[in-house]
Amino acid sequence: MFPALPQDLSLQLLLNQQWRSAALDVLLPLFSLRAPLFVIWAGLLVWRATLRGKGQALYFILLVLAMGVTDLACNAAKHAAGRVRPQHAVAGAYYQESGKWLRTPADHVPDRERGSSFPSAHAANSMALSVLAMCLWPRLRRGLWALPVLVGWSRVYMGKHYPLDVLGGWILGGLIGWCFWLAWKRLAPRLKMSALPDELYRPSL
C-alpha cells in the first residue's frame, strides 16, 4: 500500500475536512466535471475557426492528443502505484458519490490493499491542457494557470485524492504538455504551418 506521508495527510485533512463551506460544496465539484470543459472547448473551436479559418482545428486536436497521452500515462502510473483513495482510507473523509456528499465513519479502518489514487488524472489533464494552451496562445498565461489549481483543489476537497496525488498529476501533465509543445515547434514548419495559431492568415469575412 502507498503510505500517506504526515505532511500529505495533514494537508488532506485541512483541505477535505476543515476548510469546508456550503458554497465550496457546490462550486468545487464543478471543476471535476469534464462535460462543461468540452462544451466550452467546442464553442472556442467554432469561434476560432470562424475568426481565423478551419486550420485552427489542428491546434485543438493537438490539445486533445496531449490529454489522451496524459490519460494513458496516468493509468499506467496508477496501476504501478496502487494507492488507495482517501475516501476509502481516511477516517472522517468527506466525499461525493452520485452528486451527494457522504462521509467515511470516524472509526473507519482501511479495507483495501490497492486503489487508483496516484497520480490524479484530472490534475494531470488540466495541467497538460493549460501548459500547451498557454504555449500556443501566450495571452492565456494571465489566467489559465488557475485551472489546474482549481481542479486539483476540487479533487482533494471531494476526497478522491491526496495533495501528493495532485502534485504528481501536475508534474506529469506539465511535462507531457511541454513535450508536445517542443515536438509541435519542430513539426509545424514541416507541415508549412505556424507554430502559433494567432500567426495564421486571417481570412476575409
Residue 203 falls inside a structural domain: no
Q: Which domain holds residue 187?
A: 6-194
Q: What is the pLDDT of residues 109-160, one digit of tens each?
A: 887 888 999 999 999 999 999 999 999 989 888 889 999 999 999 999 999 9
Task: Please choose, from the candidates 205, 174, 203, the residue with its C-alpha nearest in 3D space to the C-alpha of residue 73.
Answer: 174
Going by C-beta distance under 8 Å and a sequence separation of 6 or more, which residues neighbour residue 179?
Answer: none
Residue 1 falls inside a structural domain: no
Q: What is the C-alpha to C-alpha distance for residues 25 and 88, in angstroms, rounded to an integer? A: 20
Residue 94 falls inside a structural domain: yes
Q: Alpha helix locations (H) across the chain?
A: 6-13, 22-27, 35-52, 57-81, 86-89, 121-136, 146-157, 163-190
Residue 87 falls inside a structural domain: yes
Residue 54 falls inside a structural domain: yes
Residue 204 falls inside a structural domain: no
Looking at residue 83, which CATH number applies to its domain? 1.20.144
Q: Given this model, what pLDDT does residue 155 score?
A: 97
Length of the chain equals: 205
Tally of domains in the chain? 1
Q: Given this model, what pLDDT does residue 84 score?
A: 94
